[in-house]
Amino acid sequence: MTLLVLCLQSPLHGAENFEPLPNCYFVDEVWDKVGEFTGLKCHRASGELKDSQLILRETILLDGAELQKAHQANFKAFAKMVSLLRL
């Protein structure tokens, strides 16, 4: 997971001020291919790493506004991890 966050530093530069929906790169390339199926195994409220600083929301059963909110929350969680790594 740390490697994934490091790879995202460029696309997420300035993400701490980002309010609209996450860009298509995050949703299509990062979340759909890695986050949903790998990250959620441990990085969720009831997962093994529930006490970590990276908690993700499941999106697979959501649609509409709830899906958008979950994508935004996951994008912010990844952006927070990137900002911590840059310190």
Alpha helices in 8-63 (DSSP H): 24
pLDDT band at 10 (very low <50, low <70, confident <90, very high): very low
In a domain, 50, yes or no: no
In a domain, 77, yes or no: yes
With residue 6 as reference, give the H or E element that holds it: helix 2-7
In a domain, 74, yes or no: yes
In a domain, 44, yes or no: no
Q: How far is CA 72 from CA 16, 23, 42, 59, in A?
A: 11, 10, 19, 11
Tell me the residue range of the domain where 72 lies.
Answer: 61-87
- Predicted confidence (pLDDT) at residue 81 exceeds the cutoff of 80: yes
pTM recorded for the entire structure: 0.70
In a domain, 48, yes or no: no
